[in-house]
Amino acid sequence: MQERVELLTTENLKAVHAKLMRTLKVQIVENNVHRGRTNLNSNSNCNNSGAIHYVNAGCTRQTTQKTALVRNNHYNLAFCPVEFVDHQLDYICKMGRQYIARWRNPFATAAWLHVTFTRCHPFDDANGRMARLVSSIPLLRFGFPPLCITPNGRRVYYDSMNIAWEGDYQPMIDCFVNCIRDAMTDVDRVMG
């Protein structure tokens, strides 16, 4: 997809999500959700406290009709309403293709893609992983490595995402640059 931005489509993102999530099971226990990666053929997470379900891999929330909302001490986020998810994902792909092809700053494009994808929250699970994958496309196109959020950069990553959510993308751009720089420093250190 690095050289062929026309491959950034809703259908391709659904296919990537399906591959990424094909073995994830979710155990539902009295209104709580416990996630755990399991082997496709394993029943090791089965017990009498709740049913095991596979995540709807490759299906958007418009298909599953699940509303996404995050409420805690730090955030109160509502995502794209289910009836508009597929339309919004089409828009993200269309604009993403244009921005990747025309913008000169791949980090600005990556930040826009990341925040817009995260705001849409198109899937039941793995939206952050998918946002980081999609955000890596303009970086790869310009010869940078894919986006890698190091453990030391996680807090800055979340803080910058919250600032970008309000419209100021510069902290997220800086975060992406620093995370890639830190990851490359780690690679150099390991490789000697």
pLDDT score for 81: 87
d(CA 184, CA 9): 30
- 99 annotated to a ligand binding site: no
- 158 annotated to a ligand binding site: yes
Residues in the chain: 192
- 131 annotated to a ligand binding site: yes
pLDDT tens figures, 143-169:
999 999 988 888 999 899 989 988 999
Q: Please tell me the least confidently modeled range out of 65-79, 141-155, 165-179.
A: 65-79
- 129 annotated to a ligand binding site: yes
**For residues 82-99, average pLDDT:** 94
d(CA 57, CA 21): 5
Q: Which of 34, 53, 114, 121 is catalytic?
A: 121
Q: Which residue has the higher pLDDT, 63 or 100?
A: 100
Answer yes or no: 121 catalytic.
Answer: yes
Answer whether 0.85 is exceeded by the pTM.
no
Domains of the chain (ranges, CATH numbers): 60-191 (1.10.3290.10)
Residue 170: pLDDT band with limits 50, 70, 90: very high
Q: Compute, in degrees rounded to 10, the torsion defined by CA atoms 68, 132, 181, 174.
A: -50
